[in-house]
Amino acid sequence: MKISIEWLREYLELPETPQKLKDDLSMIGLLVEGVEDAYGTTVLEVEVTSNRPDCLSHIGVARELAALYRRPLRLPGAGRPPGLASDRIPCAVEVRDPELCPRYTALVLDGVRVGESPDWMQRRLLAAGMRPLNTVVDITNYVLLETGHPLHAFDYDVLRGGRIVVARAHSGQRMRTLDGVERELDESMLLVNDGEGPVAIAGVMGGMESEISSSTGRVLLESAYFQPASVRRTSKKLGLSTEASYRFERGADWDNTVPSIGRACRLIEELAGGRLASSLQDVYPVRKEPVSITLRQSSAAAMIGVPLEREFIESTLGRLHFSLQDAGDDAWTVTCPTYRADMEMEADLVEELARFYGYQNIPTTLPPSRSAGRHSPVYALENRIREILVGLGYSEAVNLSFAEESDAEAFAAGTDQRIRLRNPLTEDTQYMRTALAPGLVRAAKRNFNFDRRIVRLFEIGKVYRRGPGGEPTERNMLGILGTGGHMDPNWKQPKPEFDFFHLKGAVEALLGGLRAFPYEIVRGDAGWLSPADAAELRIGTDRAGVLGSLSTAIGETYKLRQPVFLAEIEFEGLARRAFQPIRFESLPKYPIAERDISIVVDRDLAYREIQRSIADLGIAELVKVGLVDVYEGKNIPAGKVSLAIRLAFLDREQTLTVERVQESVDAIVQCLYKNYGAERRSL
Amino acid sequence: MRASIDELHRRFSEDFATISDMETWKSVRDRFLAREGGAITSEMKRLRDIPSQDRPAFGQAMNRLRASVEAKLEEKMSELKAATAAAHQALDVTRPGFPYALGSSHPIKRLQAEIEQIFVNLGFCVFDLPEIERDYYNFEALNMPRNHPARDAQDTFYLDDTMLLRTHCTSVDVHAMEALQPPIRAVSTGKVYRRDPFDATHSPMFYQIDVVVIEEGITMGDMKGMLEAFLKQVFHPGIRMRLRPGFFPFVEPGAEVDISCIFCGGGGCSKCKQSGWIEILGAGMCHPKVLRMSGIDDSRYSGFAWGMGIDRVAILKYGVEDIRLFFESDLRFLKQF
């Protein structure tokens, strides 16, 4: 809300500089976002929170300053007493929905000459950000900016039947509003009708037909109080927010309908030659009582945390126009001004006291802690994963939780369980993601576009799906992506290509670091991974994730031009097995004996089979089996591969004899020969 | 006789001085000590021609000379060997080291973890809450019924009439009150969503942290104390804090919290629009209605709550000028953290 300092000075002494006013207003809750000179005055851009519609006017802001600086407030006189009105022109008002329109006040003026409003008024409107139109409209806007109460002026001669009927719209009813737009109405909306049809959408905008024009001679002024929720609903539905609806939906002052209409009436008489021609119509079937609240000195002090003097409480609230009645026991019955739409309970009064005590004057204290803190169950897991993967050279990404239609197509994710937003921002963000892979692939692609071919990323985040009963579910996932290189090219390793085993190694290092045992990585399948290396991670007996290279089809869709390796791991699977207790094993007293064997086997024999066969021999002293070389090509028959396997033997009780080790090696070689026809190759 | 020995010694000293490598060392050695034709060897062979009474003296002098020459050459040899070895093994230590590269943790996620740790230290319980939330927890139970104007400030993504993407983590207030009995100290962090198109200062997805404390006798002074303790840990022990009245439907009294500008220290600069203060979070005393709705006796318990954007902290701490960078996974950005 733009507030003119020159205008404020009409209501109270204000020698303060704009900067001082800015600081002081901000500290009582009216944040001043900017100060600028415009139209011969200094304008404060005041951010008024939605609970304080009473401050959406110059008088409202003046009231706060008067209370703060302890100065008297000079308000403009109200209009002529309604009793003195004449009855030359009939003005009948009927309110059919008093719930949505608790009060409707109207009067008619005749002899109005619509022209340009005086210069001082135009300047004040402009300074407050409103465009001057003509005397009558300017006066209603002026009173709005002055008192905060929205008024509307109708061309009386256009109103059919010379009467006003406030009622809900019929479904399918239409009307053209002042902005020239044809609006479709429904039963939830409240209308102001004349004898035959709608002339305004109550509290939102007037109709075009009854607009004030240069030929208008008789004016019907409306000053009403409309139910906030109803105005808000209508304004939202129509996508139409106006100065009037903005105030009504936050709560206008039902006691201000008469003073405001009187003020406007007097200004029209003074500036546009009108004369009051009707009696004041004030339809107000159920009198709304001001809110009254019990305030206890002790609870106010306890909430703020400082002792509050009786005198301070009475004087502060008194300056803010609350009236206090002693209710004994250090309590008061406080009657609130009707413009304070935010007053409901004691806490609201406590805020008034805190505001004027000064938040900055409340001493800080630290409540003693009565319990030990506790992290969320995923905290340790997430942090450890981050630590390990960052150590392995992967950078953490946070991608948007949204997904595109094409993600589901490309990644063949279950489209039926996808969660769709009812009001997405764009087509590209209409679904919640069901997987991390698409976001990571797009992230890689984005980096390729910046000429970075080596990308190693991971992301810990949620994926979203509908559960069996259609209810939305969320699961934490870990996604890892590697492509282009497992490290930066360097003089020792000019082409450190990233391949499947780098990804697998990272996953294994991660699982080891998390102590998530036992796990195994076996051949698997996932539509979006290449059949050549799609693998499945099992932790315990659970399928906990997949890894492999992105299928060529998707690679082409995203125009990747280089292989991309991805893993997706379920958090739940990790969480169940991670952090297994550490059990110390005493250090061996005897040396380890290592032997390498080299065998030639079929190319498609899985290494895991060999491991298993060796393990099945049950050689107690065999503590480690490692694959140290793989060779195919020259000297190796086609379809065969040569493997160098390193065996480590240890007897915890005694030094192993050469003979015992050789026995074991022979047994292993024989077994592999028997099972797979493995030929021993001399090293 | 004496003269010839001195002459030999002089010649050796001269030649010795010219030794610079193995080649020259060998030629000097051969020149003096070679079995055939070495100057000292030849001289020794002349022993027979020396009168017998002079022989012992000559022999001793020659042996001393020979021993001294051999020792010098020996020493020189060690020197040369050491020098050669050093020359062979010397590394160019200015070449780049092996590029072990650490990755980087995401600035927001790292802050999130740091902040959670601060609160655990202060005795808080961390809640991991759903991002897809009921309207009730996100709005209704926080005193924002349907058609409440405050909902305007948080344009919301809806799944349907009752489910939405949470617009803040403030739902922790309600979940904590439902799950725990006072004294309650709860905190929740995570992704939140608002229907704001992307620009430099807006993102439809960002990160928040929300805090709630409900105990007997909690005051605004306690809220200030806890806020100060927290903000000093997150930013800098030297920052100052300022509370202004503010409005959030779920608190009363409500407060806007500013910190002294971390760029200029409070003197005024373009980042703080010359005010010396930067708005950092919203706070307040738990609204009695919110307490009652979740079954807390508001005549006995009071509390406070606050909420803050983690991205905002990251933007301020690291001087990031565009919020979009956090969610674009651009390694040129990520690698800076």
**Nearest to B76, CA basis, from B33, B44, B136, B113:** B33
pLDDT band at A81 (very low <50, low <70, confident <90, very high): low
The residue among B60, B89, B118 that closes a domain is: B89
B83 in the same domain as B115: no
Whether the Cβ atoms of residue B292 and residue B298 lie closer than 8 Å to each other: yes
B243 vs B1, residue with greater confidence: B243
Of B104, B128, B255, the CB nearest to A396: B104
CA–CA dist B132, B18 (Å, integer): 88
B175 in the same domain as B80: no
Q: A46 CB contacts (<8 Å, ≥6 apart)? A: A1, A2, A3, A25, A30, A31, A32, A33, A55, A61
3 state DSSP class of A483 = strand
Nearest CA in chain A to B105: A396
B147 in the same domain as B115: yes
**What pLDDT does A364 receive?**
95
Span A35-39, average pLDDT: 94
**What pLDDT does A682 receive?**
67
CA–CA dist B255, B279 (Å, integer): 11
Span A9-34, average pLDDT: 95
CA–CA dist B189, B268 (Å, integer): 31
CB-based contact, B285 to chain A, within 8 Å: yes
Is there a cis peptide before residue B204, judged by omega within 30 degrees of 0? no
B166 in the same domain as B307: yes
3 state DSSP class of B300 = coil
pLDDT at A80 over 60: no
- Look at residue B101 and tell me if it is in a domain: no
Q: A315 CB contacts (<8 Å, ≥6 apart)? A: none
As to burial, measured by CB atoms within 10 angstroms (0-12 exposed, 13-18 middle, 19+ buried), residue A140 is buried
Asked if B104's CB is within 8 angstroms of A371's CB, the reply is: no
CA–CA dist B236, A432 (Å, integer): 38
Span B145-157, average pLDDT: 81
B134 in the same domain as B35: no
Span A112-135, average pLDDT: 96
A146 - beta bridge partners?
A: none
Give me the sheet containing B277-286, strands edge to edge: B125-127, B184-193, B205-216, B301-309, B277-286, B251-260, B241-246
For A572-597, the pLDDT digits (tens) are 989 999 999 999 999 999 999 999 99
- Look at residue B100 and tell me if it is in a domain: no
B39 vs A132, residue with greater confidence: A132
As to burial, measured by CB atoms within 10 angstroms (0-12 exposed, 13-18 middle, 19+ buried), residue A258 is buried
Of A348, A390, A472, the CB nearest to B132: A472
pLDDT at A645 over 90: yes
The H-assigned helical ranges of chain B are 2-17, 22-33, 39-45, 55-89, 107-121, 135-138, 171-179, 220-234, 288-293, 310-318, 331-334
**Nearest to A243, CA basis, from A121, A129, A124:** A129
Q: What is the pTM of this model?
A: 0.85
Mean per-residue pLDDT of chain A: 93
B45 to chain A, closest Cα gap in Å:
60
Span A80-89, average pLDDT: 65
3 state DSSP class of A72 = coil
A579-605: b (≥16 Cβ within 10 Å) or e: eeeeeeeeeeeeeebeeebbbbbeeeb
Whether the Cβ atoms of residue A209 and residue A141 lie closer than 8 Å to each other: no
- Look at residue B94 and tell me if it is in a domain: no
Q: Pick from B102, B166, B220 the residue to mutate for testing the A interface (most A CBs within 10 Å).
A: B220
CATH of the domain at B313: 3.30.930.10
pLDDT at A126 over 60: yes
Whether the Cβ atoms of residue A82 and residue A279 lie closer than 8 Å to each other: yes
Span B206-211, average pLDDT: 97
**Nearest to A403, CA basis, from A422, A431, A427, A425:** A431
Q: Pick from A394, A395, A452, A455 the residue to mutate for testing the B interface (most B CBs within 10 Å).
A: A395
The encoded tokens of residue B106 equal 């995401």
Lowest-pLDDT range of A373-377, B102-106, B151-155: B151-155
Q: Pick from B189, B252, B302 the residue to mutate for testing the A interface (most A CBs within 10 Å).
A: B252
Chain B residues 137-176 with CB within 8 Å of chain A: 147, 149-150, 152-153, 157-160, 163, 165
Asked if B106's CB is within 8 angstroms of A397's CB, the reply is: yes
pLDDT at A676 over 90: yes
Q: What is the ipTM of this complex?
A: 0.88
B195 in the same domain as B308: yes
Whether the Cβ atoms of residue A111 and residue A86 lie closer than 8 Å to each other: no
- Look at residue B97 and tell me if it is in a domain: no
B268 in the same domain as B120: yes
For B157-196, the pLDDT digits (tens) are 999 999 999 999 999 999 999 999 999 999 999 999 999 9
CA–CA dist B212, A640 (Å, integer): 66
B24 to chain A, closest Cα gap in Å:
38
**What pLDDT does B41 receive?**
85
Tally of residues, chain B = 337
Of B104, B221, B244, the CB nearest to A364: B221
A210-247: b (≥16 Cβ within 10 Å) or e: bbbeeebebbbbbbbbbbbebbbbbbeebebebbbbbb
A549 to chain B, closest Cα gap in Å:
20
What is the Cα B54 distance to its own chain's centre? Answer: 84
Asked if B225's CB is within 8 angstroms of A365's CB, the reply is: yes
What is the Cα A352 distance to its own chain's centre? Answer: 29
What is the Cα B12 distance to its own chain's centre? Answer: 64
- Domain that residue B117 falls in: 107-334
Mean per-residue pLDDT of chain B: 91
Q: Are strands A455-466 and A395-396 parallel, antiparallel or unpaired?
A: parallel
Span A398-421, average pLDDT: 84
B308 in the same domain as B219: yes
Looking at residue B162, its amino acid is T
Q: HEC states along B12-80? A: HHHHHHCCCCHHHHHHHHHHHHCCCCCHHHHHHHHHHHCCCCCHHHHHHHHHHHHHHHHHHHHHHHHHH
Q: What is the DSSP secondary-structure string of A179-214?
A: TS-EEE--TTSEEEE-SSSEEEETTTEEBSTT---T
Lowest-pLDDT range of A118-127, A487-496, B51-60, B109-118: B51-60
B146 in the same domain as B84: no
What is the share, in percent, of chain A residues with pLDDT greater than 90?
Answer: 88
Please give the backbone phi and psi of residue A385, each rounded to the nearest 5 degrees, phi first: -60, -45
What is the Cα A383 distance to its own chain's centre? Answer: 25
B132 in the same domain as B67: no
CA–CA dist A485, A342 (Å, integer): 62
CA–CA dist A94, A106 (Å, integer): 11
Whether the Cβ atoms of residue B142 and residue B172 lie closer than 8 Å to each other: no
Nearest CA in chain B to A424: B157
For A175-227, the pLDDT digits (tens) are 999 999 999 999 999 999 999 999 999 999 999 999 999 999 999 999 999 99
The encoded tokens of residue A253 equal 């002052």
Count of CA atoms in the C-beta half-sphere (13 A) of A245? 24
Write out chain A residues lying below 8 Å of B242, CB-based: 359-360
For A303-355, the pLDDT digits (tens) are 999 999 999 999 999 999 999 999 988 999 999 999 999 999 999 999 999 99
Rounded to the nearest 5 percent, the helix, strand and coil shares of chain B are 45, 20, 35
Q: Are strands A163-168 and A92-95 parallel, antiparallel or unpaired?
A: parallel
The residue among B89, B121, B141 that closes a domain is: B89
Span A70-98, average pLDDT: 80
Looking at the structure of chain B, the number of domains it has is 2
What is the Cα B112 distance to its own chain's centre? Answer: 16
**What pLDDT does A85 receive?**
61
Q: How many CB pairs under 8 A join A and B?
A: 252
pLDDT at A413 over 70: no
B257 in the same domain as B151: yes
pLDDT at A84 over 60: no
- Look at residue B43 and tell me if it is in a domain: yes
CA–CA dist A462, A156 (Å, integer): 62
B144-153: b (≥16 Cβ within 10 Å) or e: beeebbbbee
Nearest CA in chain B to A250: B149
As to burial, measured by CB atoms within 10 angstroms (0-12 exposed, 13-18 middle, 19+ buried), residue B233 is middle
Asked if A375's CB is within 8 angstroms of B116's CB, the reply is: yes
B82 to chain A, closest Cα gap in Å:
28
B74 in the same domain as B37: yes
The residue among B89, B122, B155 that closes a domain is: B89
- Look at residue B229 and tell me if it is in a domain: yes
- Look at residue B96 and tell me if it is in a domain: no
Q: Are strands A174-176 and A182-184 parallel, antiparallel or unpaired?
A: antiparallel
pLDDT at A271 over 70: yes
Write out chain A residues lying below 8 Å of B132, CB-based: 419, 432, 464, 472, 474
